[in-house]
Amino acid sequence: MSSPSLYKYQAGGSLPVTAPSYVKRQADDELFQALLKGEFCYVLNARQMGKSSLRVRIVDRLQAEGVRSGTIDMTTIGSQQMTSEQWYASVLQSIISSFRLGVNLRTWWRECSHLSPVKRFGDFLSTVLLTEIQQPVVIFIDEIDSVLGLDFPIDDFFALIRACYNKRVEEPIYQRLTFTLLGVATPNYLIADKSRTPFNIGRAIDLQGFRLSEALPLLPGLQGTVKQPEIMLRHILEWTNGQPFLTQKLCQLVLNTWQDGTIAIPTGQSASWLEKLVRSRLIDYWELQDEPEHLRTIAHRLLYDEQRAGRLLGLYQQILDVWGKTVAIDNSPEQTELLLSGLVVKEQGYLQIRNPIYAEVFNTEWVEQQLTNLRPYAINLRAWLSSERLDESRLLKGQALRDAEVWAEGKQIGDRDYQFLAASHALEKREQQQALEAARTREVEARLVQEKKTARLQRYFLGVISLALIGVLGLGLTAFWQYQTAKVSEIQALSRSSEALFASDQHLDALIEALRAKPLAI
């Protein structure tokens, strides 16, 4: 095996024009031909997909065709604590430097101070840039997503780009001017007023990963390093799915291993050897080995906004759960953000994880850990799942359930979260129903007890009344008996008195006494 020639892959940053490892893709020719025709173009994609390297190559190719190109790198201008006037002036200064124009910006800007910043910018293009440069002009605006951090509306800037295109019919000078926007954004993110957007007149350039047929410039570094470089390159692309940064980095890792004198790949075992290398140098302890930073950039984009992170992780969890299956594209903000992170790609109308490395790094355990850091009910959910959804004591109730609902509102959480919250709702509803039924039972029981008490009281009062009536009746009978007894005694007394008088020959008095006794006997 011969020693490989000096060769260097580059992971991250813009590849210079002379870089041997630059991979020309379909997007190269599409963008080049479109700009030669004067079309407004935009390349909006995830980070570290090779946008800046593409720009460097296209600038070189355009120059060979007599087209002057200049670049405005928005990250060098800044976006914080800046007025619109400062921002537009900074953009113009970048144009002056990039095209090497012979104008003093401070003087020119001061002379136009009576105009708005966007008007000054537009006038500069026509009266300075297109006047000094007579060739076709292409302005590349790189890192365009930086404008999202500005403290003032930026719609006027994009509307001006559209106006430059529209003026081509009336003012031929503008036929020599076109723009190309590059960045991590979508048209909807960049401009709010859709009636003024330049994106409906521009051409989107789709920047895909490396295909095997395109990646042949990567072979020289592998030749002399491994016995079958074509097979090794194919295995590398199987791991990265052509993601430019990871492909360049993995190729360099293979080359470094050979240079360190540790490479020894038995025939037919290149796939297993490469897997060990990927796991040991990219996947295992990836937070510590992620240099230049790539995987941490993806993680940061997913997690930096806590409110949005729950929705993104929930959606990604669904894609991860059906790895090898499909989640249909609906162009929701969450799906758009996942696409811009680079973690997923569109495949025939569906979302898929971009490559096996991402699937291994951002796996189910990683998602669960991140959701654990976000969920207010993480411990309960984990215990409930561990019990195979049988331990209802882990479900939420009352205020805890209300807090969980507030947290989940607006988030596209995973199926297990929905099942957990639904089970908590069902349990709470069931317990509320049971409590209601128990309250009704207690109410009926209390009513029965009260009715029993009332019945006892009624029986008591009836008994008392009965006893009272009996007492009254007894007293009446006693009084009547006493009255009758007294009458009998009185009659007897009158009879004896009458008899005594009759015996003593007092017949008249005897008759009177007898008459007195007669009414008493009736």
CA–CA separation, 242 vs 358, rounded Å? 12
The H or E element containing residue 139 is strand 137-142
Q: Identify the weakest region by mean pLDDT among 169-178, 290-299, 312-321, 344-353.
A: 312-321
Tell me what the mean pLDDT of segment 102-106 comes to: 95
> What is the tens place of the pLDDT at every residue in 288-329?
999 999 999 999 999 988 778 888 988 898 888 776 667 889
C-beta neighbour count of 453 within 10 angstroms: 10
CA distances from 20 to 7, 50, 260, 474 (A): 8, 15, 22, 133
CA–CA separation, 262 vs 259, rounded Å? 8
Given pLDDT bands bounded at 50, 70 and 90, which one contains residue 2?
A: very low
pTM: 0.76
CA–CA separation, 130 vs 288, rounded Å? 50
pLDDT of residue 503: 76
Tell me what the mean pLDDT of segment 99-109 comes to: 96
* Structural tokens at position 65: 């065709």
CA–CA separation, 265 vs 258, rounded Å? 10
> What is the tens place of the pLDDT at every residue in 460-471?
887 788 787 887
> What is the tens place of the pLDDT at every residue in 7-37?
889 998 899 999 999 999 999 999 999 999 9
